[in-house]
Amino acid sequence: MSNALSNRSNGQIPAILGSLLVAIIVLGPVLWAFATSFKTEVEAVVIPPTLWPTSPTLDNYTKVFKDAAFFSDLWNSVAYSVGAVIIALLVGIPGGYAAARFSFRGKRTLMLVILGTSMVPGVALLVPTYYLLETVGLLNSGIVITIILSARIIPQTVWFIANFVEAVPIEIEDSAMIDGASRFQIIWALILPLIRPGIAAVATIGIVTTWNDYITVAVFAPEVAKRTLQVALVNQVFDAVGISWSYMMAFVMVASSPVILMFGFVQKWFISGLTAGAVKG
């Protein structure tokens, strides 16, 4: 038995080493950005570079929070992301339920078309969408930006919700209908609580996708008052004064923290939601 355990442990060594390598590749840049955010500008560009600041400072974070435009950019990022996810769920939940529970002619074709729309690169639609919005005078509209962002995540929302609903035994719904429950009551009081982890997973993916979106806001909302944290971050790269790497890394850490904190809060639901749709009851 000891030999078997030893062979098993030896067989896991490559997997462990591979996991450590992936972790270093993924976390290395994050840790470097975190360390740089506490450096002075001189130390941030010194050659050879230092792994950790010799005299850590919070000046860069102070500058970020003292920037008058920072909180406006933060609010826009939150409003666009949350608004887009809410719209996507309002459309995706009934759409996914209908796809999972109703049979009709052309259902498979329709679902493939919905899936296909998510494969169209957003860049391919920038020019016609821009001219359309400019013609009707809807550039720099927060509502329009939210709707465009929601349209990007609605197809995947419909597909995910359909898989989660299919994992719920239909016999539960049949019993509720026998007891006199309406279709709306079944969805609201029965299906939604059962697929709550799946909804959390879909919402998390949607918020991360829309939060990191740069090109949509940069093109359709060029006004400074409508920009998001991502647009403000990229603008620093093209600043005529030059790039302050220590300040930029502090900005990156602050801009990433809301999504990181949200993911930590819903991590349990997120993981169970991703696995729930893979198994039918």
Per-residue confidence (pLDDT) for residue 220, from 0 to 100: 94
Q: Is the predicted pLDDT of residue 87 greater than 90, yes or no?
A: yes
Q: Is the predicted pLDDT of residue 79 greater than 90, yes or no?
A: yes
Quick one: average pLDDT of 157-162? 93
Per-residue confidence (pLDDT) for residue 279, from 0 to 100: 47
Per-residue confidence (pLDDT) for residue 88, from 0 to 100: 96
Quick one: average pLDDT of 7-14? 66
Per-residue confidence (pLDDT) for residue 281, from 0 to 100: 44
pLDDT in tens, 93-122: 999 999 999 988 888 898 899 888 888 888
DSSP per position, the chain = -HHHHHHHHHHHHHHHHHHHHHHHHHHHHHHHHHHHTTS-HHHHT-SSPPSS-SS---HHHHHHHH-TTHHHHHHHHHHHHHHHHHHHHHHHHHHHHHHHH---TTHHHHHHHHHHHTTS-GGGGHHHHHHHHHHHT-TT-HHHHHHHHHHHHHHHHHHHHHHHHHTS-HHHHHHHHHTT--HHHHIIIIIHHHTHHHHHHHHHHHHHHHHT--HHHHHH--SGGG--HHHHHHHHHT-TT---HHHHHHHHHHHHHHHHHHHHHHHHHHHHHHHHTTS--
Per-residue confidence (pLDDT) for residue 238, from 0 to 100: 75
Quick one: average pLDDT of 160-178? 90
pLDDT in tens, 118-136: 888 888 889 999 999 999 9
Between residues 263 and 233, the one the model is more confident about: 233
Q: How would residue 11 be classed by pLDDT, with cut points 50, 70 and 90?
A: low
Question: What is the pTM for the complete model shown?
Answer: 0.84
Average pLDDT, the chain: 86
pLDDT in tens, 31-65: 988 999 999 888 888 888 888 888 889 999 999 99
Question: What are the φ and ψ backbone dihedral angles of 36, each rounded to 5 degrees?
Answer: -65, -30
Per CATH, the number for 58-279 is 1.10.3720.10
Q: Is the predicted pLDDT of residue 4 greater than 60, yes or no?
A: no
